[in-house]
Structure 1
Amino acid sequence: MNIYMDLSFLLQIVLGYTSLYFAKSLLIVKSKIYLEVIFTVLVGFSIYLVYLNIYLSILIYFVFISIFLLMIFKENYFKSLFLYLFIYSLLTFIIDKLSIYNSCYNFILTINSPKGMLSYLFGPIFLISLILSIKLVDSLFRLHNYKTTCYLLKNNKKVYYTGYYDSGNTLKHNDVPVIFINKDKYLFEVDKKIKVEIESINNQSLIDVQECLLSIEDKKESYYVYVALVDTKDFNGCEILLNAYIN
């Protein structure tokens, strides 16, 4: 068994991060960066499992992956585990079959020759293809269906924006829908700030909101909303992230 351990170590890091990013992108969730970094580095050491019994090797790898994905994704654990193992297995199978300089031992892909370093490219190529595909689908379908023109009204001042409907934004404060806008694009005078607590996968935080009236293009009614001032530059190319309760 001729294995370049240092090169194979880096290959496992590439495959691990690619699989993790794949799961993260499809689930559309946020995760703590330091956990991703720790996971990606530690997964490189899985190369040493090639020296163990195949069943013990697979068991250790599965337990390690399960624990870290549970820490990273929490309630999306089972979906993330399936997606991670699916893409990891797929990339391992493809590289093993296409390259004579790579071999698979105990479910772990190795590099048997310096020429096998070309397999490093499979991860980045896959990630780039995934990102481009998501952007293409988003531009062709999501924005076509969910992009709209709206305006905010406050103190007799009206400002038009492009809004993006997001069924995932169901945040309310005192039964009032909360929408999001970059604080630099909020062109009204900032009144007394109201604090609203938001909860994400990783933590809870307070954001500043302002009271406004919101009107959607081609609709007569106006909505009383809280406008959250955030640092996010845009929302899928739009200026405002609308709320699922605004129809």
Structure 2
Amino acid sequence: MCNFLRTLLAFSSFVVFFDLVLLQETTDYYTYTKANDPQIQNQATEHPGGTIVNDKFVFTKSRSPYWLRNDLIVERNAEVVIEPGVTIKVEPQVGITVRGVLTAQGNQDERIILTTAEDASARTIDFPDIRLVDGPTILAGRVQIRHNAQWRSVCTNSKNWTSFDMETACRQLGFQGGTFYGWFNRQMPLKSRLLYEQPMCSGTESSLFDCQWSTRQLGSGVCDYHPDLAIECLPRHDKPLPYWRGIRFERANHETHRE
């Protein structure tokens, strides 16, 4: 009998301790402190991100603005409510995934603002003089280079670029990787194209224009019987950008209240 009571007492103590641990974890999850980041300190209420399961969380105006440090995932049976006038500053490359319910209660007088936590206005973004067109996405397609303020397709006399050449082109676009995608027929109406046979990149350049190309010509009669080069890049930024990833809905129920 004594052994049974000791076992029951020990089990009861374990249950109580386990409940306290769960309660403490839940309390910590919804406790927000001022951010330690010097750029945001004393300006935003910190939200650590994470996953909300079978629960409801409200971004209140009284605690706004918020600083979302990591990805926030709203599961199927969970809900996130954003009150009118709330501002949420999101870390670069961080986003919100909604599988449950998102209720945004903004109105004309008190708008909801979701923006990057980093001051992107202080950055100057230079658009590259290269692009990929006529492909399924911005990551693959016909290579075009801006020459004398006009976009010209690139031909190579059917000579494929090296992996270093294609990786440099993708790096100039702001992406990683770089592989051969195919040969594209000439565009109509016919325009002069750019002959770019061998960029001769070493793999460390940030732009094709830094490579030691052997031939780059433009004009009639150049590449007349050869197709245009097409390459494909990987969907990863070569350098971190100061933007947040946005809101992704995955078969979610979302509501927007407008007044």
TM-score, normalised relative to structure 1 = 0.22
Q: Which has the higher helix share?
A: 1
Question: Per residue, is there more strand in 1 or in 2?
Answer: 2
